[in-house]
Amino acid sequence: MIILFNSYFNSYIFDYNTKCILRMDFLKLYIKNMVSIRCQMVVKSELERLGINYTKVEVGEVEIISKVSKDQLYSLAAALKLTGLELMVDNKLILVERIKTIIIDHIHNSEGQLKINFSDFLSKKLNYNFNYLSNLFIEVKGTSIEQYFLSHKIEKVKELLVYDELNLTEIAWKLNFSSVSHLSNQFKKMTGLTPSHFKNLKTKKRTSLENLSK
């Protein structure tokens, strides 16, 4: 047996021998690479096509309130795989994916600034010691949480430079860089360009969230 799903109240067991899933009244599915609105629309479409009732589809997660048959799950997993998405089945991988999801949501979708360190925020959000999360992330992804976090911050800087609605001082404040100089130094380390040089390029080199989040 392997643990396949988690809910707020129980773990759900999938038995490969009997092909039975136990207690499927209220499930939370974790889906790898579901980081954009386009991905969420794909997942919603597949859930509706398969007759699986859901209450919420957001970055990396789906909440389901109806019983799900093994055939529906097989079909969902197969359909998602064709689109570059993956139904998660390993608890450690699920936790890493949740770390990624929180980082992406915080940087790309949140308007407010945190009042505590991100490491403390992450620990409280997931109810795990940050050292454990950090070591697990390195083990699975081969890079640190800090580096992953920074890569998304720099990609967000690129996005804001392209939109040209905020100046560098405003961008630095919005993304919680300590200063414009700090932002510029980190940007150049990651891209080889200064923010001003990037902004003046005719062709802006940006990475999609789907590719950045793998």
**50-68 pLDDT tens trace:** 998 999 898 888 988 877 8
> Domain segments of the chain: what residues?
2-89, 93-212
* Banded model confidence at residue 210, pLDDT cuts 50, 70, 90: low
Q: What is the second-level CATH architecture of the domain 2-89? A: 2-Layer Sandwich (3.30)
Buried b / exposed e over 124-152, threshold 16 CB at 10 Å, is eeeebebeebbebbeeeeeeebeebbbbb
More confident residue, 191 or 8: 191
In sequence order, which residues have a C-beta less than 8 Å from that of residue 194 and are 6 or more positions away?
A: 184, 187, 188
The conformation of residue 13, written as its DSSP 8-state character, comes to: E
In sequence order, which residues have a C-beta less than 8 Å from that of residue 28 and are 6 or more positions away?
A: 5, 6, 7, 8, 61, 62, 63, 64
Q: What are phi and psi of 3, to 5 degrees?
A: -80, 125
If residue 11 lies in a helix (H) or strand (E), which one and from where to where?
strand 11-15
pTM for the full model?
A: 0.68
Mean pLDDT, all residues of the chain: 82
The topology under which CATH files domain 93-212 is: Arc Repressor Mutant, subunit A (1.10.10)
Q: What is the pLDDT of residues 95-140, one digit of tens each?
A: 998 999 899 988 988 776 777 789 999 999 999 999 999 999 999 9
- What CA dihedral angle connects 87, 93, 94 and 98, to 10 degrees? -120
